[in-house]
Amino acid sequence: MKALELLNERSKIIYIGNRAKEIYSDLRYESYESLVKSLLFKRYDMWFIENYIKNENDILEIIDTKPKIIIFGDTNLNELYKRKIIQYANFKNVPLLGPKSSGIYSDKFYFGRINPVFFKNKTGICVISSNQFIPYMIEKELSWYDWGISQCITIGSGDGLLSSYEGVLDSIVDINSCIGVIIHIDLNNYIESSIANYIKNNYHKPIIVFVTGRSEFPEKGYKLVKFFRDVDIDVALDIGEIVKMLKKII
């Protein structure tokens, strides 16, 4: 099957990699192929295509479908194909995302990961977090109110920090279509604090900052909470407070 056959007008995200479980750690499938089939059946806007890149023409066809973003996973693609993808994606202004483990590094790469399982088109709440389990906790709590998360990006920790978000954030999540944004900040790793200010200044959307890790870093937590409240950004210290604040938005 050619790569182009997996893509259509609904496609927004392309994943190039051979370890699907690293991205879909929450799903359990017997094989890579069954995962691909499941994603196609459920109509997720994410496509796994490494197995279908057989020549340079496949690469041109893939990028000509105008995806919103191309994600590199832990890939076995040869170096020539990698360079061709990078070269043509840059030419077509397609953002590139990839962890350092992919063996690809450039100032034009944005390290992180996306959880498309949250693309449910419900209430339009966007969640940004450095911990992949936090969105699940929030989603579970919101389900009692018949609300839900429509978009989610999990910013990888450790060797996978989102190195830059300006100009690429819109390619990952459509913040303008969201009712509001929940940003989880763990005091062990709080690059998201700058993202909160960026979203407030550029999108003018209701923002709730959810802070965890205060017991380990009480002084740092106090200063961060005070900072956000001083600039009129709501701060939730537990998930129950998130619900109370969302009632003002929804």
Average pLDDT on 136-142 reads: 73
Give strand ranges (E) for the chain: 13-16, 46-48, 69-72, 96-97, 109-110, 113-114, 125-129, 149-154, 180-186, 207-212, 234-236
Q: Is the pLDDT of residue 58 over 70?
A: yes
With contact defined as beta carbons under 8 Å apart, do 130 and 156 qualify? yes
Considering the domain architecture, whether residues 111 and 215 belong to the same structural domain is answered as: yes
Residue that terminates a domain, selected from 97, 123, 139 = 97
Considering the domain architecture, whether residues 123 and 71 belong to the same structural domain is answered as: no
Task: Tell me the C-alpha distance between 206 and 224, whole Å.
Answer: 18
Q: Is the pLDDT of residue 128 over 60?
A: yes
Considering the domain architecture, whether residues 57 and 133 belong to the same structural domain is answered as: no
- Give the pLDDT of residue 173: 61
Average pLDDT on 184-204 reads: 72
With contact defined as beta carbons under 8 Å apart, do 180 and 199 qualify? no
Average pLDDT on 88-96 reads: 75
Range of the domain at 48: 3-97
Name every residue whose Cβ is closer than 8 Å to that of residue 239 and which is 6 or more positions away in sequence.
137, 138, 141, 210
Output the average pLDDT for the chain.
Answer: 64
Task: Tell me the C-alpha distance between 208 and 237, whole Å.
Answer: 10
Considering the domain architecture, whether residues 123 and 150 belong to the same structural domain is answered as: yes
Q: Is the whole model's pTM more than 0.85, yes or no? A: no
Q: Is the pLDDT of residue 186 over 60?
A: yes
Q: Is the pLDDT of residue 2 over 50?
A: no
Residue 37 DSSP symbol: H
Higher pLDDT, 223 or 36: 223
Considering the domain architecture, whether residues 224 and 111 belong to the same structural domain is answered as: yes
Considering the domain architecture, whether residues 135 and 225 belong to the same structural domain is answered as: yes
Report how many domains make up the chain.
2
Name the most confidently modeled range: 35-39, 43-47, 90-94.
90-94
Query: 145-160, pLDDT tens digit by residue?
Result: 666 666 666 554 433 3
Considering the domain architecture, whether residues 173 and 74 belong to the same structural domain is answered as: no
Residue that terminates a domain, selected from 97, 131, 146 = 97
Considering the domain architecture, whether residues 81 and 200 belong to the same structural domain is answered as: no
